[in-house]
Structure 1
């Protein structure tokens, strides 16, 4: 080990990848605004060189973000090897952006640009090839953002929320409520189903309220089985959180669902996030489907 390289990983490195049209450029621009040194369309084989040059010229405290897309082709093997071996000397986060095929097709059509893997065929064929190429990286992602229903401002908010404090080493836990009728969040590390609890929807006075309103929250949390669930589920999250930190992962998404994402899941999400904060975690609640009804 040279005198110029730290014994332990220091400094931030964010590797941005994902589907064409899912918002990689938007994420990169936000990271640049957050103070990252950003390199777009970087061949993965050159990643160690970029890290070395930034370390030499700006120091390990300068955060780096690199955008790597499917055009890198076989170079992805080099990227996976570097990430697996933690060979870059920095705390590395893999950010993966994706969206539904229909949305990606609309975005590509609007941009009037062919897909890099389209090969003269249909755009949808290029997207399917890209998903196959990126499957392993998606599975290893530290942060996965589905941009299907996000506009540019919402995406930049999510990136800022995840990377706005690059020096922080605490685990960031997002507890998100959702409605099963709108689909399961694709970025969830854990999912719990609150449909075992009585539904406030069937109480006329509670129906127009949501789980952040005190009468609904009290109704949901007052059930003995709700308390039993909370007492059993929080230690599971804590156990996994400790393992995530040991393995260098600093982001966790816990999804809490009910039928419509308005009453039970919202109340329990608020309670879980509050208990995690009390235990010293950087936890925050989000409500994906509140207002969709």
Structure 2
């Protein structure tokens, strides 16, 4: 059954942080969608092939026909067979004032007044919606990392990976991957390029993989590097970094780095870690 989560609440209470956390979990997230369009989005999601399983829509007080349009949208979604929930994010007036002052941005409803005037006006508009919320989260004492962790705990599936790793082989002669979070160099291993019968093959071929993995230090490197990455990945999860790129390089990105990447991907996969292996420079020579 598809799910529709409507994210709303007080301006400055963390709506954008919640939306980003849900997006990292694989939800289809639409930010600042007019409430009148939520019903259409729900119908499209219910009839899509394959069906969009989890949708989150962030809406705020700037939608003028807010209550009637939102109520109609929820009714339409439920008639379409979509489970609908409402998440309301709140914080104390003092906290919200402090947040608006720190970013030097006006409250959307303050007009010619102060941020507190806008916050008080918003509370009047949002009062009924707050009372109808399925989940209420007070973010007054939460930083962005703590709020993201709470959202993940509330709306993540048991099978959702804690972190997704892109494990990339590359050739140093073609340049470092600009988006790499970690880079390892396996040029300490003998190069199959200098073995005539292996030169035309790459690290995904059995004969090259056997040659590379059979070299002194290859297995030890894989064991120790996988072990060294464990606290790093755990730290990424604590800081709500849900995606990371780890690059493994050799001279041309064809033999050694490819073979090592394939084995390391198998080693890292599992226990909340999803790994995708890509080989940037295979076929480039």
How far off is 1:33 after superposition? 0.4
Preserved contact between residue 45 and residue 52 of structure 2 (Cα < 8 Å): no
Provide the residue aligned with 2:99 in structure 1.
Answer: 107
TM-score of the pair, normalised by structure 2: 0.52
Give 3-state SS (helix, strand or coil) of 1:71's partner: coil
After TM superposition, the structure 1 = structure 2 runs for residues 115-264 of structure 1, keeping only pairs within 5 Å, are 115-165=107-157
Show CA shifts across 1:211-242 (max 9, x none): xxxxxxxxxxxxxxxxxxxxxxxxxxxxxxxx
Q: Provide the rounded CA distance (Å) in 1 between the counterparts of 2:131 and 2:42.
A: 24
Distance 1:129 1:58 in 2: 43
1:163-199 CA deviation, whole Å, 9 max, x = no partner? 001899xxxxxxxxxxxxxxxxxxxxxxxxxxxxxxx
For structure 2, list consecutive stretches of 5 or more residues without a partner in the other structure: 161-285
Distance between the aligned counterparts of 1:118 and 1:166, measured in 2? 42
- Indicate conservation of the 8 Å contact 1:82/1:88, yes or no: no
TM-score, normalization by structure 1: 0.51
Q: Are the equivalent residues in 1 in contact too, given 2:100–2:106 (CA < 8 A)?
A: yes
CA RMSD of aligned residues (A): 2.1
Per the alignment, do residues 165 and 50 of structure 1 end up closer, same or farther by CA in structure 2, a change over 3 Å counting?
Answer: same
CA gap 1:142/1:110 in 2 versus in 1, 3 angstroms: same
Provide structure 1 residue ranges, at least 5 long, that are not aligned to the other structure.
1-9, 169-293
Question: For the residues of structure 2 that align with 1:166 and 1:139, how far apart are their CA atoms?
Answer: 29
State how many pairs are aligned.
Answer: 159
Inter-partner Cα distance in structure 1 for 2:66 and 2:134: 20
Q: 1:128 to 1:58 in 2, by over 3 A?
A: farther
Deviations, residues 222-269 of structure 1 (Å, cap 9, x unaligned): xxxxxxxxxxxxxxxxxxxxxxxxxxxxxxxxxxxxxxxxxxxxxxxx
Residues 110-119 or 13-22, more deviating: 110-119
Query: Contact 1:108 / 1:114 at 8 angstroms: preserved in 2?
Result: yes
Runs of 4+ in 1 over 4 A off after TM superposition: none
Q: 1:166 to 1:143 in 2, by over 3 A?
A: farther
The equivalent residue for 1:76 is: 67
